[in-house]
Amino acid sequence: TGKVAYDPGFMNTANAKSAVTYIDGDAGILRYRGYPIEELAEKSSFIETAYLLIYGELPTADQLEEFDQMIRRHTMVHEDFKTFFNGFPRDAHPMAVLASSVSAMSTFYSDSLDPFDPRQVEISTFRLLSKVPTLAAYAYKKSKGEPLIYPRNELNYSENFLRMCFGFPTEEYEVNPVHAKALDLLLLLHADHEQNCSTSTVRLVGSSNANMFASVSAGINALYGPLHGGANEAVLKMLTQIQQEGISPEDFMEKVKRKEDGVRLMGFGHRVYKNYDPRARLTKKTADEVLETLGGNNELLDIAMRLEEKALNDDYFIERKLYPNVDFYTGMIYKAMGFPEKMFTVLFALGRMPGWIAQWTESVQDPDRKIGRPRQVYIGENERHYPGA
Ligand code: CMC
- Asked if 215 and 275 sit in the same domain, the reply is no
Indicate whether 255 and 116 sit together in one domain: no
Q: Is the CB of 270 under 6 A from ligand 1?
A: yes
Q: Ligand 1, atom 11: nearest CA belongs to which residue?
A: 320
Is 327 in the active site? Answer: yes
Residue 266 CA, ligand 1 centroid: distance in Å: 8
Q: Residues 41, 185: contact at Cβ < 8 Å?
A: yes
Does residue 42 sit within a domain? no
Whether 76 maps to a domain, the answer reads: yes
Number of Cβ within a 10 Å radius of residue 83 = 9
Nearest CA to ligand 1 atom 18: 320
Q: Tell me, yes or no, whether 47 lies in a domain.
A: no
Q: Are residues 146 and 247 in the same domain?
A: no
Query: What's residue 241's pLDDT?
Result: 92
pLDDT of residue 296: 56
Predicted structure pTM score: 0.93
pLDDT at 297: 57
pLDDT of residue 289: 80
What pLDDT is stored for residue 116 in this prediction? 97
Residue 138 contacts by C-beta under 8 Å, 6 or more apart in sequence? 77, 81, 82, 85, 101, 148, 164
| 69 and 192, same domain (yes or no) | yes
pLDDT digits (tens, 9 = 90+) for 286-340: 888 888 776 655 788 889 889 999 999 999 999 999 999 998 989 888 988 889 9
Residues of the chain with confidence (pLDDT) below 70: 1-2, 294-297
Residue 22 lies in a domain: no
Residues in the chain: 389
Give the total number of structural domains in the chain.
2
Question: 161-190: per-residue pLDDT in tens?
Answer: 999 999 998 888 999 998 999 999 999 999
CA 22 to centroid of ligand 1, rounded, Å: 21
Please tell me the residue having the least CA distance from ligand 1 atom 45: 227
List helix spans (H) across 152-297.
157-166, 177-189, 197-206, 212-223, 231-244, 249-257, 278-294
Our answer on whether the CB atom of 189 is closer than 6 Å to any ligand 1 atom is no
Residue 229 Cβ < 6 Å to ligand 1:
yes
Q: Residues 105, 201: one domain?
A: yes
66 plus 169 within the same structural domain: yes
What are the tens digits of pLDDT across the range 201-226?
Answer: 999 999 999 999 999 999 999 999 98
Q: Residue 36: CA atoms inside 13 Å, Cβ hemisphere, count?
A: 9
Q: How far is the C-alpha of 189 from the C-alpha of 286, rounded, in Å?
A: 11
Do 221 and 128 have their domain in common? yes
